Structure 1
C-alpha cells in the first residue's frame, strides 16, 4: 500500500463546486490540520505552505487568516501562523456533543430519508475508501466531511449541520497517518458504505450501531499517535 502523503503537491479536487482559490486552499488546510499533518505549536509560513500545496503565497495567507478567525491558528508576526493546540478534554467534549447530535439524527434517516438522496452519497463514500487505500489523508478528511454533512443535511436542519461542521473542524485525528501506513484505515473507511446500506435497508438499529462505532474512532484509533 502506498505510504500516506506527508506533503500535498496540489489542492484536492472539489468536484464541480465553484469555489474561490482562497476557499479551496482553506478547505485543504483545514483537512491537513484535522488529519494531523499540520501540528499544534508549529509555525508555518505562507510561502512554505504555498510550495507544499502548489499554489501562490497570497491565497494561502488569506486562507490562514480565515482559519485564524475560526480559532484554528494564531498569527505569529513576521513568521507565519501557529496551529492552535487542542486539549484532550476539549476533544472529548467535541466528540460528546457530536455523538449527541449525529447518532440519533443519522439513525433516524433510515425511515425519513429519500433513498435517491442516500444513494447520491455513495460516490463520496467510495471516494473515502479510495483515499484511505492511497493514503491521501487530506482527501480522506475532506470526503469524510462532505459525506457526513451531506447525510445530516437530509434531516432538514441547517443549523445542526453548521454546528457539526464547526466541531469537526476543531477535531484532531493524529492517528490517521499511522493507521494508513498499517493498512487499517480502509476498514474504517468502509463503514461509510455499511452505513449507507443500513439506511437504504431502513435498518435503524444497524445504522445506529455503525455510526456509533464510527464516531468512537474519533477519540479512539484516529485520535492518538500510534507507534509506526
Structure 2
C-alpha cells in the first residue's frame, strides 16, 4: 500500500449482487477516476482485500483486469502501481467525448422514449445524493451508469463501449476540492436538468447543457 490510508472503499463481504471480482473492479475504477487513487501509488492485494473485507483471489483478479485496461501497472512482489494520465491525454479524452456525446445526446431529444428517460432519474438523483454526502466514489459510479445508460438509448453499443473506455481512463482530480467547497452538487444537478430538457424535447437546451457539463470534466473538475 501507499504510505497513507487512501480512500474509504466499500466493504463487500455482505454483498451478493455480481461477483466480487466485478464489484472490486468497479469500485477501484471509480476511485481511480475520482482521483482518490493517485498516480504512482502502489497498492498490495492483501491490503486491498482487507479493506474490502473479502479474500485475496477476487481482488487479485480485479487488479489484473485493471492492469489490462492500462489503469494499473504490476510491480513484482509489491502489488500494482496507479498509472499517470497526462494533461494532454485528459484533453484528448475530453475532446473525443465531446465529439461523440454532445450530438448523440442532443439527438435523443427527438428520438428517446420518455419512459426510458424517466428510468434514468433514480441514477441522476443518486448522483446528487452522493455529491451532497461528499462520497466521490459513489458519485463517479452513479455518473457512469447515468451517462452510459443515456447513450445506450441511441442504440449503438460500440459507441457506448468507446465512451465507457474513455471514462475509465479519465481522472477527475478536482472532485475533492469541489466537494469541500460545496460546488459538486451544482454539477450533479445538471443531470436532472439534462433529463428535464430531454423530456421537453428541447434540442438546443440539451446541446447547451451537455456542452456545459462536459466542459466541467476538463475545466473546473480537472483543477
Common fold: TM-score over 0.5:
yes
- Which residue of the partner structure matches residue 10 of structure 1? 11
Query: Which residue pairs with 1:105 in the alignment?
Result: 104
TM-score normalised per structure 2: 0.93
SS in 2 for 1:156: coil
Per the alignment, in what secondary structure is the counterpart of residue 206 of structure 1? helix
> d(CA) in 2 for partners of 1:48 and 1:39?
16
Ranges in structure 2 where 5+ consecutive residues have no aligned partner: 1-5
> TM-score under structure 1 normalisation?
0.91
Q: Aligned residue for 1:79?
A: 78
Distance in 1 between residues matched to 2:207 and 2:7, nearest whole Å: 34
Q: CA deviation at 1:148?
A: 0.2
Residue aligning to 2:156: 157
Counterparts of 2:10 and 2:147 in 1: how far apart (Å)? Answer: 26
Distance (whole Å) between structure 2 residues aligned to residue 10 and residue 172 of structure 1: 23
Change (3 A) 1:166 1:134: same
Once the two structures are superposed, the pairs formed by residues 28-177 of structure 1 within 5 Å of their partners are 28-177=27-176
Shift of residue 9 of structure 1? 4.0
CA apart distance, 1:222 = 1.2
Tell me, which stretches of 5 or more residues in structure 1 are unaligned? Answer: none
The Cα shift of 1:221 comes to 1.5
* RMSD value, Cα: 1.6
Q: How many residues are treated as equivalent by the alignment?
A: 217
